[in-house]
Structure 1
Amino acid sequence: MGQGTYRGGRGRRRTRAVLAVLVAAVLGAGACDSGGSAESGGSPSPTPTPVWDTSPESVAAVGDSITRGFDACTVLSDCPEVSWATGDSAEVGSLAVRLLGKKGAAGRSWNHAVTGARMADLAGQVTRAAKHRPELVTVMVGANDACRASTAAMTPVAEFREQFEEAMRTLRAELPKAQVYVSSIPDLKRLWSQGRTSALGKQVWKLGICPSMLGDADAVDAAATSRRAAVAQRVEDYNAVLAEVCAADERCRTDGGAVYDYRFGTGQLSHWDWFHPSVDGQARLAAIAYRAVTARES
């Protein structure tokens, strides 16, 4: 009786020992599969927090006339309520409204763009926008650097780069963790080719809208063709600078050239000047921006 009891206890101990070995093996395999080390006793590595937040809670816009909704509502006037970035128009569905809702956008979005602004003005706009402590800053600027009285007056590419880098340094000094969305500059030559079909538009162009591209709108001689080609090339060079400078900042994201590539038709152009975006054009810009900002990866 006593001997039998002893053998039974030993058998149970052997069974428990075997089970312990099996459990240890299973746990060890699980630790290895999770990225830990069975030998070092390491634990699984935590999932890193993404640098880019696809749902920022406040938006500040900087830039030029496009972001001010210029000529979208009335001739030669700003119309910020239809701005692609911060407007409250239901027809547009601005980036701010799409991200924050209409009530949220009303209290947590700000438009510091200025009609006629060039890249040299961006640092000052950024300084003003930074006072709101926005989580996202939108940038659309550069068209006016190409839209000068002549091609010789266009901002040199190297200078354009220096000015954008200065604006980014200013932003980072004030807002080290803010996200930045940078829109590409539209294809100005395409806007010319579409808008020149309107007699009214060409009359408005004579008031001084982008003379380097739109001047002598119907001229197709060698000099006019060469002038427009120079403006078009400068816009491409500017867009390359925007992409390169943005890429050097881990919290900066561009549209990947989507605005430049967008084929604006007469329905997306202002019926006042046939050059700036119409309300519908502003809505297209808002949609492009929203896709870029909410994409999981840039």
Structure 2
Amino acid sequence: MRDRSVRRRSRIAAGLTAVALLGSAALVGCDSDRDGTTKGSAAGQRKPSAAAGPVWNRGPKSVAAVGDSITRGFDACSVLADCPEVSWATGTDAQVRSLAVRLLGESGAAAHSWNHAVTGARMAQLPEQMARAAKEKPDLVTVMIGANDACRDSVRYMTPVADFRSSFETAMRQLRAGAPKAQVYVSSVPDLMRLWSTGRDKELVRQIWKLGICTSMLGDADDMGAQAVARRASVQKRVEEYNAVLRDVCAKDARCRYDGGAVHDFPFIGAQLSQWDWFHPGREGQARLAEIAYRNVTATKPPA
């Protein structure tokens, strides 16, 4: 979900490292609650039944992932670096137990999953990723993208909804051209407003966000003036509009399943976020995303 360009990495790396190392323990300790899901829970251990619907296969044998920095595990292992081994979709990390591992087992995931996501990608880049994924002829393609379209230096630079829709429709056509029978699991865009409310009252988090993370929502995090409130509301509205597009376009494809807003509605807490930026999911957050995806992919019916 990073909205910074590559050329700014070196400038903010030192700041992120210094701030996060001084306060990483405080970040993790800020929230003592958990989401109530534990490793080894029923949701994490369920196996898909042999019965399948007329189109949706609840036990795919290969997985390709497309999207942005969340799917690349950005900032989950070290500062300003991808860590695909902890990806919720295709990672191999034992703590995360990615969707691919849950569906295919460790050896199956290693041999039959591919991660084509790109850190910093916006919806306009999805068609190219989908074309690459189609070449793998996967049974299932996971999609998580859109946060970078809302996370810009200013709200006026957010991707217009019409452009967002057009790019997603083009991406689906690209996939269908090369892999007409591939299933598609589409995750909703996370709730950036909830993320802001989780960290805005913490001095350490505000200092990290000042380094330039999702400025449209997180900039001047403690400013409660009318302009700042309106700016955040604009970002929140745009995220909701993006999710409506994801839902609507997916609904037109018989082999596409939207998550019903599950990722958007998930209440991420401090312990589930990166210690480096309090924005991207850390290992715990990636594990929660994997649980959500597995539950929805293997469900008898799509989410409401």
State the TM bucket, normalised to the shorter chain. 0.7 to 0.9
Is residue 263 from structure 1 mapped to residue 267 from structure 2 by the alignment?
yes
Is 2:295 aligned against 1:294? no
Is the partner of 2:101 in helix, strand or coil?
helix
Count of residue pairs the alignment pairs up: 252
- For residues 15-68 of structure 1, what are the alpha-carbon distances to aligned partners after superposition, in whole Å with 9 as ceiling and x for unaligned? xxxxxxxxxxxxxxxxxxxxxxxxxxxxxxxx9962000000000000001001
Could you say which residue in structure 2 is the equivalent of 1:228?
232
* Cα-to-partner distance string for 1:206-233 (whole Å, 9 max, x where unaligned): 3322110011111111111100000000
Pair 1:282-2:286 in alignment: yes
Unaligned runs of 5+ in 1: 1-46
| Unmatched runs of 5 consecutive residues or more in structure 2 | 1-50
Matched with 1:145 is 149
Matched residue, 1:179: 183
User: Judging changes above 3 Å, is the alpha-carbon distance between structure 1 residues 48 and 226 closer, same or farther for their aligned structure 2 residues?
Assistant: closer
Runs of 4+, deviation exceeding 4 Å: none
User: Within 2, Cα distance between the matches of 1:248 and 1:196?
Assistant: 39
TM-score (norm 2): 0.81
Q: After TM superposition, give the deviation of residue 268 of structure 1 in Å.
A: 1.3
Change (3 A) 1:48 1:101: closer
* Amino acid across the alignment from 2:134: A
Equivalent position of 1:43 in the other structure: none
Structure 1 residue 244 corresponds to structure 2 residue 248: yes
CA contact (8 A) 2:52 2:300 kept: no
RMSD: 1.4
Give the 5 Å matches for 1:21-36: none
Q: Contact 2:122–2:149 at 8 Å: present in 1 too?
A: yes
Aligned partner (choices 212, 216, 219) of residue 215 of structure 1: 219
Tell me if the contact between 1:259 and 1:285 (Cα under 8 Å) persists in the aligned partners: yes
Q: Check the 8 A contact 1:123/1:166 in 2, yes or no.
A: yes
How much does 1:203 deviate?
2.8
Instruction: Quickly say closer, same or farther: Cα 1:265–1:123, change in 2 above 3 A.
Output: same
Matches of 2:131 and 2:222, distance apart in 1: 41
The alpha-carbon distance between structure 1 residues 49 and 116, as it changes in their structure 2 partners (threshold 3 A), is: closer
Q: Is the 8 A contact 1:87 1:94 kept in 2?
A: yes
Matched with 1:15 is none
**TM superposition shift of 1:278:** 1.3
After superposition, give the CA deviation of every residue in 1:224-275 in whole Å (9 maximum; x if it has no partner). 1100000000000000000000000000001110000111111211111111
Query: Which residue identity is paired with 2:113?
Result: S
The one of 164, 169, 172 aligned to 2:173: 169
**Counterpart residue number, 2:114:** 110
Judge conservation of contact 2:274–2:280 (CA < 8 Å) in 1: yes
CA contact (8 A) 1:58 1:136 kept: yes
Identity within the alignment, %: 69
Name the residue aligned to 1:99.
103
8 Å CA contact 1:140, 1:185 repeated in 2: yes
Partner SS for 1:66: helix
- Match of 1:19? none
State whether structure 2 residue 87 is matched by structure 1 residue 83. Answer: yes
The equivalent of 1:64 in structure 2 is 68
Identify the structure with bigger relative contact order (alpha carbons < 8 Å, sequence gap 6+).
2
Q: Which amino acid aligns with 2:156?
A: A
Question: What SS is found at the alignment partner of 1:85?
Answer: coil
The answer to whether the 8 Å contact 2:135/2:179 transfers is: no
Corresponding residue of 2:163: 159
* SS of residue in 2 equivalent to 1:235: helix
